[in-house]
Amino acid sequence: MYKTWFVSSTVVFFILLIIVLISYRRPAPAESDNFDVLIFTQHWPQTVCFAWKENLASHTCSLPTHKNEWTIHGVWPSQYHKLGPQFCDDSAKFNPAELKPIEGKLQEKWIDIQYGKESYSLWQHEWNKHGTCAAKLEKVNTELKYFTEGLTLLSKYDMKNVLAKSNILPGKPYATDEFLNAIQKTLGKRGSVMCINDKKTGKLYIFEIRICFNKQFELIDCDGTYGYPTNCNKSNNVIYPGEVPENYKIV
């Protein structure tokens, strides 16, 4: 009887041990769709076109009808000090038909500078990469809501107006801190300024400006977000081009 009890106890012990080891070795459930802030990113079309042209010599660009308009790059859910999350829901496939009610506005304000006004490629990319993560929030939990919110944010925080209030206008070079200070002065919150470098000349061009929101879409400082406050070389002035650098073909 003692032997039977011992064997049974030993078996139970090893079963429990295996369960514990398996539980210990099993990775914790992924939380890749968690985020801390939403980064609203606007880019300067003339510089975006220039960047594409640098990589593709035969490339043409599609710019806004109204000159000197900043356009939307995206609304990006982000963790502090990290990129992402990204591509949170493969099942939430992009459907262009969802955007029909606002397509005209998107073609002007959220324009695909690389592939043209009639292209859905930028919208598809932004929805798949960022929108499916933002969709945790009820305010942007559908394709239409997500892109509508981007348009709303642009109407409130258009960088053309924000910078102009500090007399920062296209066609001139400025110190990086002038851009950063203009954002803080006008909006009362700190943003980020991103540049690209012309490898041929060494000149810096303003590329993107990012401002940040909490999950209630209240404006907050961008401190701690990836790339904050800038990737620009502060020893050089940053060009805010009034035209696309070089004599590039625009369509």
Which amino acids are annotated catalytic?
A: 73, 126, 130
Angle (nearest 5°) at CA 151 between 143 and 83:
70
Tell me the CA distances in angstroms from 127 to 122, 145, 208, one per residue in order. 9, 11, 19
- Cα separation of 108 and 106, whole Å? 5
Tell me the CA distances in angstroms from 184 to 1, 75, 212, one per residue in order. 81, 20, 12
Residue with tokens 């806004």: 64
- Cα separation of 209 and 159, whole Å? 8
- Cα separation of 60 and 52, whole Å? 9
Tell me the CA distances in angstroms from 88 to 10, 127, 141, 207, one per residue in order. 45, 10, 12, 27
Closest CA to 194 of 85, 39, 68: 39
| Stated length of the chain | 251
Structure tokens at 226: 């990836």
Query: Residue 156 carries which side chain, given as an amino acid letter?
Result: K
**DSSP letter, residue 250:** B
